[in-house]
Structure 1
Amino acid sequence: MESTNPSASLPPPLRGMDSGAFTRRTITTRWPRIAGRVIAENDFPDAINARIQALRDDLPDGSIRPLRDDEAPDAALWAEYTAPHLGKTWLEVPWFFGETYFYRRLLEATGFFRAGAGRQSDPFTNQKEQGLTHTEDRIEALAQRRSRARDEEEETRSVLTRLLRSSLWGNQADLSMWTAEEEGPDHKNSGQAEEHLLVDDTPEALAQLKRCDRPARIDILADNAGFELVSDLALIDGLLAAEAVGQVTVHLKGHPTFVSDATVDDVHDTLATLANADEASVRALVGRLHTALATGRLRLRDGWIWTSPLRARELPAHTRAEIARADLLISKGDANYRRLLGDRQWDVTTPFAEAIAPLPVSVLALRTHKSEVAAGLPSARIDRISDKDPDWAVNGEWAVIQFAPADPSPEARRPSLTI
């Protein structure tokens, strides 16, 4: 809980015990189901499966306890993160803490950081691989569109606008919400997708790049592996083809989490898989990305911060200094959006730039709505949508492209004090 004066006026964080039905259902139903799939889809020894089952049985009324894999490189960090919540139930703690803690407890149970059968074994590999395999046709179509745009030398603004939308709607593919075999949210055509775009600040983001007096650096907070990652890679390819962009840095998760969240290994594995595709345009896309990696125009970074329960107002100084080097930060997906807004119960009409944590970089959030956290939405339209689609905030059908300029104040460059 922040102790600075501005924090006193912030709305409370979401919790399973006092917020919407979706938050509670995540804790009581979705997390146990995810733990069950980890048991079913891996050939772990009985001792590991027993630990996973114990975690599953602990939900939702068990108590938060310290992690027990003291040899893990993030053990000291998690000792600090859990300290304020020890003894509370899963429903009592802030939802964002609970969710990141749940996935970290899964890795404790599988022995991800210990010597043994589960060491460095991604418990979500099966789902990630299926997520890529089941979207081969969409991947080919995306690569073919990139190839045509390059051959026909399409105008950069229109290319980036289209790629931002592809990257946005790629976020509908989320294996923590829908398994690879399930039919998740989708739109029949581009017109229907446009109707479901609640806010579109694409022009503001492109104008930000145009204002740079040198080739821009763009940072991306990545979200899911599978088709979403491929759509992000296509966006990166388009950005690097633009004269206004000099470098793209992608921030990925330091360990498997949220089922399908992408790690550095997932990027390399995805590129290796697509390099063997039958479609020439897919192989060409991979070739350009490999060249960008080799020349340093594309950089992959990971860090414990992106698997931590820290919300954006609490980002440490070194993380703020790193993202401050970028001219634009593109935030992908629901969990990153929740981090930016502190996973708090904002009135959805609160201006996005007001709700987002003060940051020393301009932010463009690409997010499909899969949780009850939102800001910057048009009041009249939300009223109409709520009447015809009561689950609009969580069903992945609706989306935003929201921009907030860099905060120039000194506070944007240092974290809020915590207690």
Structure 2
Amino acid sequence: MSTESLTALTPAPGQSRALRSITVAHGGLDPRSGLLDYLVRNDAHTWIRHNGGMVGYGETKRFTVTGPDRFTRGQDWWRRELAGAHVVDELGVPGSGLIAFGSFAFSKTSAHESRLIVPEVVVGCTDGRGWLTYITDDPEAELTAEAAETALAAYLLEPDEQYPPSPGDRLAPGVLSEDEYQAVVAEGVRHVHDGELSKLVLARDVVAELERPVSTARVLRELAVRYEDCWTYAVDGLIGSTPEMLIKVENNTAQARVLAGTLDRAGAPAADPGYAERVLAGSEKQLHEHQIAIDSLTGTLEPFTSSMTSHSEPFVLQLPNVWHLASDVTANLTPDGDGHVPTSLALVQALHPTAAVCGTPTTVAGALIRELEHLQRGPYAGPVGWIDAAGNGEWGIALRGAVVETPTRVRLYAGCGIVEGSRPEAELAETWSKFRPMMEALGISR
């Protein structure tokens, strides 16, 4: 049975043309490869984990914003667009119907434009069920299953050429050299030791310079296959595969995955199955860093919830490049006076930036990041994900990723949590372990 939300199609004064959409079941997904078969265009908007998620094509509407109120203004724009929308949705699952993909700048002072993008076509998969959404602002366009399939076919008709890595591809230094980054880490440790803050996250960048245009679709397929426990994302040239879920909202329930504490798998003893558990869970420094991140998230989330649960002890998350100390948090959301639970974007506004990507206290850490890092994070370590018309959404932290600056230039980012006891040489090595997913997907080495 289809569900419809019908309002006037005439836009209010100053408002753009109303959005119209239809979502229908879609049986074109191969159960073995799922959405990977749809990663054939370099400009696709992507959110994939375990072959589920969404791939979007085209652009029906876009909103961009900068400044400290970027989340509020983004949510206000989305509400205005929904107020005039006409939606036909056969499935009614989170992510179906009207949707916007989004990427937000890490810093409230950043000149980088945060953005929400409403695609024209979305192929989705939830619990093995495939679906297709067609979105338009053309008041004359047909909202039928045939129109949706035709729109999808047009995007798939001419897939982008996918170039393999070239022998001439190389990795160049970023804003800071390795020695300069170690000096910055040492300065950060001094601030922690002096009691100004308990944790500070410091990042650095490197640049991949390619002989041929980057094949983003190929890179995303590589990431999605190698890092299936992560969320592989792409929004407007921001690409990566993050292991950290900032917030997921689905039917009045919020979930988050917090990571803090890292151990490189390169060089780990193969004959010691308890190595990661012993080194991570047995490290006072790693446990301290993790607890700071957990306390930061749960303390901020608590006012929005009626109950909250998390692991009493962190677990070791095994990824192909590193091990992490991880904790999953689940919370039941509390309705406001009008009976509405907070949207995923409202929770993003409350939670970002977390101690996992900034530090604590946040204000002190943010100021030190701007003083010490010398680079512009842009969307790195900012929220990336999607929101639907019901307020459901998934927002990861844009980690283990890169920004495609030009067709042949890709900037990679990685950061480390600095606490008392951090050693500059160890933190530098950790950044290389975090660069590894993107380097391997690009087919480039040090």
Is the pair's TM-score, using the shorter chain for normalization, greater than 0.5?
no
Identify the structure with bigger relative contact order (alpha carbons < 8 Å, sequence gap 6+).
2
Looking at secondary structure, tell me which structure has more strand per residue.
Answer: 2
TM interval, shorter chain, is under 0.3
- Report the TM-score when normalising by structure 2: 0.25
Scaled by the length of structure 1, the TM-score of the pair is 0.26
